[in-house]
Amino acid sequence: MIRLLNIAAIAALVASAIYAYSIKYQTILRAETVTRLKLEIKTEQDAIGILRADWANLTRPERMQALTEKLLPLQPLKLDQIVPLNALPDKAQRGDAIARKLDDLGLSEPTATPSDAVTGSLPSTATPTAKTSATPAAKKPRVADRSSDRSSPQAKAAR
């Protein structure tokens, strides 16, 4: 019995040692991954800094002025080119081109949906009858009204 207990203790010791080494190696792997990612981040930040410096160099005002004079045929502004605001044309009307086409075709009126035909709802010109007063909408409990009635003394007196 004692030998069996010793063997079990040694097996547990070996198993715990293996588990500890596996945790150690996983930790080392994760630390290397973190270090590699930090290096990649630093490299990308350096690249961003270089690109910003390059952009600042390309958009210098004196460089832009020289390129403008060289490449664009600009002329000085003349006084007859300045007009008052009311002389400018009105802004073009932006709208839905499909809706305008539907209006032109006379199809802009609302139509009955398929759900109206299934439920048998009445058209707006029909008068309600006694049958329509017993619709499920009329039988809905008024939960919100009851909660407000509980707080008011007038509601308690009405009960």
Domain boundaries, the chain: 2-71
**Predicted local distance difference test score (pLDDT) of residue 147:** 46
pLDDT tens for each residue of the chain, 159 residues long: 789 999 999 999 999 999 999 999 999 999 999 999 999 999 999 999 999 999 999 999 999 999 998 999 888 888 888 888 888 888 777 778 888 888 888 887 777 776 655 555 555 554 445 444 444 444 444 444 444 444 455 555 554
**Predicted local distance difference test score (pLDDT) of residue 106:** 81
Residue located via tokens 């270089």: 50
Q: What is the DSSP string of 93-135?
A: PP--HHHHHHHHHT--S----HHHHHHTPPPTTSPP-TTGGGS
Reported pTM: 0.40
For the chain, give the longest Cα–Cα distance: 114
What's the rounded Cα separation, in Å, for the pair 135 and 100? Answer: 39
Cα of first residue to Cα of last residue in the chain, in angstroms, is 83
- Does residue 122 contact residue 132 with C-beta atoms inside 8 Å? yes
